[in-house]
Structure 1
Amino acid sequence: MSANTRVYSIDARIEVPVYDTEVTDRVADAVGNLFPNADTSQEPGKLVAETHTLDPFSDKLHEQEILDTARREFDRDARADGFSFKLKKQAALQGVVNFAVGDPDELGDIEVDVVVREPSVAEYVDHIAPPTQDGRPVDPDSNADRR
């Protein structure tokens, strides 16, 4: 099956703490910069967003040439039905993907949990962050259907 006919079915839930010192709209902007298709809502002390595509996020990974880093982070918290990862809130405000590792930032991190329904988790990870060789995606057409 070619990449353009493959159906991807995922649910991604994004949670970000919002502290009293922060402007909720700015936190929403940070999420929207990386996940423009996400529907956001405010809950006590946090912003919650949901999306069914990570393609715009994948585009950022390709632009920043951090596919290998993304694959490592996705693999770090992988499970049978999906994977989780954390991002730096401040970087997201600038429209930049910066994975959060170690202790959370003072204002908290953007936490993303992805449940993959179709196809497998490994195939979906290959879709959004394809394997690379010499820093380039192994399949150069892997991102062509989203441009």
Structure 2
Amino acid sequence: MIVRVRASLNPTESPEKVLKSILNLFDFKEAECERASGGEKEYIICVAKSGSPLYKLRNLLRQQRILDAARSYIERGMEDTRTVFYLNKQAAFMGKVSFCTYETGESPLGAVVVSIEFENCGPEQVLDWLAPRTVDGKPVNEVAELNC
């Protein structure tokens, strides 16, 4: 599994604050993150070749009690070998998870773009671990450990 998280770095933003937005929601090590350019834009990009950065996000989804909404947004971006979803950068800076439908437009400073590539895991296994279905607010058919 490869987890990539990217946030645009606007000219008015501090690179440290943009990195903090990512690290508030994901367990990346500093060495897994770098500043990069793409055309005229700059980004902070964090990449890990395991699901370990997702543990913090998984816990926040449960604390905020937004598993059903999270599952819906994550499923929308699901393809055969990956999923892509967007998070509000300002909410992330405050340590809160707030999903966006699009990369631009909803979050004034741009969204945090999350891409999860499934190599040794099935998409459903990852989804049932990260954001399982719920009944009366309680997770059902939850995968306890991510073994890939």
Give the alignment's TM-score, normalised by structure 2: 0.84
Task: State the Cα distance separating 1:82 from its structure 2 match.
Answer: 1.6
Task: State the Cα distance separating 1:119 from its structure 2 match.
Answer: 2.2
Aligned residue identity for 2:136: D
Task: State the Cα distance separating 1:117 from its structure 2 match.
Answer: 1.5
Partner in structure 2 of residue 114 of structure 1:
116
Cα-Cα RMSD: 1.7
Identity fraction in percent: 27
CA contact (8 A) 2:18 2:93 kept: yes
Task: State the Cα distance separating 1:139 from its structure 2 match.
Answer: 4.6
Partner in structure 2 of residue 73 of structure 1:
73
Partner in structure 2 of residue 137 of structure 1:
139
- Partner SS state of residue 117, structure 1: coil
Partner in structure 1 of residue 8 of structure 2:
17
From 47, 50, 60, the counterpart of 1:50? 47
Task: State the Cα distance separating 1:138 from its structure 2 match.
Answer: 1.5
- Partner SS state of residue 62, structure 1: helix
Distance 2:75 2:121 in 1: 16
Aligned residue identity for 1:15: R
Partner in structure 1 of residue 99 of structure 2:
99
Gaps of 5+ in 2: none
Residue correspondences, number: 135
Higher mean alpha-carbon deviation, 23-32 vs 109-118, is at 109-118
Aligned residue identity for 1:40: C
Gaps of 5+ in 1: 1-9
Task: State the Cα distance separating 1:12 from its structure 2 match.
Answer: 1.0
Distance 2:121 2:108 in 1: 37
Distance 2:70 2:108 in 1: 23
Task: State the Cα distance separating 1:50 from its structure 2 match.
Answer: 1.1
Distance 1:34 1:84 in 2: 16
